[in-house]
Structures are given as C-alpha cells and as structure tokens.
Amino acid sequence: MVEALEPRGAGARLRVRCARVLEDAEPGSSIAVNGVCLTVAALGPHSFAADVSPETLRRSNLGELRPASRVNLERPLAARGRFGGHIVQGHVDATGELVALEPVGDGDWWLTVRFPGELDPYFVEKGSVAVDGISLTIAALEGDTFSATVIPHTWRNTTLHLASPGARLNLECDILAKYVARLLERGERRSPLTVEKLREMGY
C-alpha cells in the first residue's frame, strides 16, 4: 500500500508499506511497483522508499498513486531461480486504457485493454504482455485493443479487481518482439527487399 508520493524536482519519491518483498531487500535492491522496476533508496521496518524519474512518471501510471493506493509488488528473479513465463524487465513502454473486465465463469475474467498505436507491432495472439506487472497471454486482438483471460489466482493476488473502465494500466511488451521488430527495421533501411533483389538472388 502506498504511504506517500512526494514530488522531488521533476521526479518523485515513492514510499510503499509492505512486508513480503522486504524479506531479503536492502538499499540498491530492485522491486517492481505496478510493473515498474524501481531501486530501493531507503528501508524501514515495514516499508521502502524509491525515487521515480521524470521519464517513469511520463510513461507509467505511478504519478497517479495516492496514499492508501494498492499496488502490485514483485521482487526480481534470482539468477539461480527457476524461470517460468515470459521475460518481464520492469521497463514499461506506455500506458493503456482499461476498456472492460468481465466475468466469464469459474472465477475467470476477460480483460480488454486499449493500447497506443506505437505498440501495435509487438502484439500477437498467444504472445505475451505485462499489464501493471502481471504477465498475461494475449487471447484476442481487435483494432487497437487486446484481450486476455485473468485466472482466479491472478484476480485474488493483484490489483486488477480494483480497476474500473478508463483506468490507466502500465504496459510492457515482450522484449523479444521488440528486438525482432528493431532488427527487421534496420534490415529494411539497409537493403529493402524488392522484386529486383529477389531476381538477383535467383527467385
């Protein structure tokens, strides 16, 4: 739970009251807050503080936090840990808008999020996306929205059940998709594939 978000110059200092993520934390440790990787600047018995840069405030929903706001917290995976799921770095790309969150039975929910156009190349059906730090599988794509199923465990243990339509949600695209898109973009700039080029190659 947020204790305070204090403006500091162009950025801010965030203080969060918590317990479990502090078990092995120390100044300099990383803790993701709503999917944003932050560095612990100070520790208390039941809280930590972290500095939030202007860039993070611009790209994420952290600037909207208020005292008593509930947030998703996650410690980083240890190098010796067992890896499961997709790679989530805590580097938020942009925010999306919650369009709908509807029950579909058996404790499952159907989440629909509108995303900004610049993220479109990184979304594919059955691909991965992090929403407020929650790793989800894209089940449907339609125009500028994607949808995913939220299982009961995720519903109970995250802040999604507190969100209302119109809420801003932090989005982190799959890092592998971003690298592939970047490599393809560079390749097209260096040597665009044309009919003439294909003929030269014997096709």
Architecture of the domain spanning 94-187: Beta Barrel (2.40)
* Average predicted confidence (pLDDT) for the chain: 92
The whole-number pLDDT of residue 188 equals 63
What is the mean predicted confidence (pLDDT) over 85-107?
93
Q: Which CATH number fits domain 2-74: 3.40.720.10, 2.160.10.10, 1.10.268.10, 2.40.30.20?
A: 2.40.30.20
| Three-class SS of the chain | CEEEEEEECCEEEEEEECCHHHCCCCCCCEEEECCEEEEEEEEECCEEEEEECHHHHHHCCHHHCCCCCCCCEECCCCCCCCCCCCCCCCCCCEEEEEEEEEEEECCEEEEEEECCHHHHHHCCCCCEEEECCEEEEEEEEECCEEEEEECHHHHHHCCHHHCCCCCEEEEEECHHHHHHHHHHHHHHHHCCCCHHHHHHCCC
Closest CA to 168 of 69, 73, 59, 74: 59
Phi, psi angle pair for 45, to nearest 5°: -60, -35
Q: Is the pTM of this model over 0.85?
A: yes
What is the mean predicted confidence (pLDDT) over 77-99?
85
What is the mean predicted confidence (pLDDT) over 139-149?
98
User: Is 126 a residue whose pLDDT tops 70?
Assistant: yes
The whole-number pLDDT of residue 193 equals 60
Please give the share of the chain, as a percent, with pLDDT higher than 90: 77
The whole-number pLDDT of residue 138 equals 97
The string of pLDDT tens digits covering residues 167-193 is: 999 999 998 888 888 888 876 666 666
2-74 and 94-187 agree in CATH topology: yes
The whole-number pLDDT of residue 6 equals 97
User: Is 197 a residue whose pLDDT tops 70?
Assistant: no
What is the mean predicted confidence (pLDDT) over 190-197?
65
Domain ranges of the chain: 2-74, 94-187
